[in-house]
Structure 1
Amino acid sequence: MKRSIGMASLVAAGIGASAMWLSNKPNRIKAESLLREWKRKVFPTVFEKSEQLPIHKGGHPHPHDLEDNKMVDEGAMYSVKFYNEKIQ
């Protein structure tokens, strides 16, 4: 019981000290930049994947690529059929 009270008081003291330190604007800016750097180091794939997406054809199929055109055509017909069934 005494150990948990001691831990609670240490946590409260830490929160109070950090609130006092963050009340100063330059310290807040330092803390923000530090957290951003840590986030980039811990989760590097989140930021890198958005730049390196493997999009080669991106919605514009080549006219002579029959399989790709067939897939695009079937996709469009599915949504039209679904819409027509829902309306009727």
Structure 2
Amino acid sequence: PVPELPGKSSFFVGSTDEFIEKRRQGLQQFLEKVVQNVVLLSDSRLHLFLQSQLSVPEIEACVQGQGSQTVTGAILHYAMSNCGWVQEEESRP
């Protein structure tokens, strides 16, 4: 089963900073539980969500083989773009 997300409170007593920090901690704990779940960890959608800039519809298309890239290609493209490699390759004549 997927762990529960921490709640979003439309009404919070206290400072905004305090709410943001509690929400951040809750999301961190959620992600830690997700990546410890072998079934979830083997899901391509999770990898694309965590390791690319694709939107949810783009992730779904990619996983179904209907995107412009493979799952591995999308992850590698994002990883290389963070290192500046994609820009270097694209700027070559």
Asked if TM exceeds 0.5, the reply is no
Bigger-Rg structure (1/2): 1
TM-score, scaled relative to structure 2 = 0.38
